[in-house]
Chain A
Amino acid sequence: MHNTNYIIRFVLIITAVVAIVLALMSNGLKPIHDKNEAIYNKKAILSAIADHLGKDLGSLSDDEIIEIFNNQISQTVIDMDGKVVDEQTMVSLGYKDGSAESVDMGKEMKKSEADRLLPLYTYKKADGEDFYVVNVRGKGLWDEIWGCIALEKDLNTIAGVAFDHKAETPGLGAEIKDNIAWKNQFTGKKLFTNDGEFKSVYVRKGGAKDPVYEVDGISGATITADGVTEMLARGIKYYQPYLNTIKQ
Chain B
Amino acid sequence: MAEVKVAEKKESAFQFGKKERKLLIDPLNDNNPITVQVLGICSALAVTTLMDKAIVMAIAVIFVLALSNLFTSLLRAYIPKQVRMIVQLVIIATLVTVVELALKAIDYNIYKELSVFIGLIITNCIIMGRLEAFAMGNSPWKSFLDGIGNGLGYGIILIIVAFIRELFGKGTVLGAKVIGPNADYLINTSDSWLFGWYANNNLMVLFPSAMFVIGVLIWIHRGIINKSLVDVS
Contact = CB atoms under 8 A, between A and B. Distances in A.
Nearest to B78: A10
A212 to B, nearest CB: 26
Contacts of A39: 108
Given A22-B98, A170-B50, A171-B169, A37 B78 contact: no
Nearest to B97: A22
Interface string A1-36: 110001100110011001001100110010011001
A182 interface: no
B94 A22 contact: yes
B224 interface: no
Counting chain A CB atoms within 10 Å of each CB, which of B79, B102, B108, B206 scores highest?
B108
Nearest to B206: A171
A208 interface: no
Say what secondary structure dominates the interface of chain A.
helix
Contacts of B206: 169, 171-172, 220
Interface string B54-87: 0000000000000000000000001111110011
Interface range, A side:
20 to 34
B109 interface: yes
Q: Is the interface of B mostly helix, strand, loop or mixed?
A: helix
A171 B49 contact: yes
Interface in B82-139: 82-83, 86-87, 90, 94, 97-98, 101-102, 104-105, 108-109, 112, 116
Contact of A7 (B82, B108, B205): B82
A89 interface: no
Contact of B82 (A1, A15, A29, A172): A1
A169 B112 CA distance: 14
B169 A10 contact: no
Interface residues of B, number: 27
A10 B90 contact: no
B105 A33 contact: yes
Contacts of B78: 10
B80 A10 contact: yes
A11 B104 contact: no
A219 B79 CA distance: 53
Contact of A170 (B83, B105, B108, B205): B205
B50, B80, B86, B112: which has the most chain A beta carbons within 10 Å? B80
B118 to A, nearest CB: 14
Contacts of A32: 105
B15 interface: no
B192 interface: no
Contact of B80 (A2, A18, A172): A2
Contacts of A2: 80-82
Interface in A19-66: 21-22, 25-26, 29, 32-33, 36-37, 39-40
Nearest to A22: B97
Interface string A167-195: 10111100000000000000000000000
A70 to B, nearest CB: 21
Nearest to B200: A171
13 contacts: A11-B86, A14-B87, A15-B90, A18-B94, A21-B94, A36-B104, A36-B108, A39-B108, A40-B108, A167-B116, A170-B49, A171-B170, A172-B205
Interface of A: 1-2, 6-7, 10-11, 14-15, 18, 21-22, 25-26, 29, 32-33, 36-37, 39-40, 167, 169-172, 219-220
Q: Which 5 A-B pairs have the closest CB atoms?
A: A171-B205, A36-B108, A2-B80, A32-B105, A170-B49
Interface of B: 49-50, 78-83, 86-87, 90, 94, 97-98, 101-102, 104-105, 108-109, 112, 116, 169-170, 202, 205-206
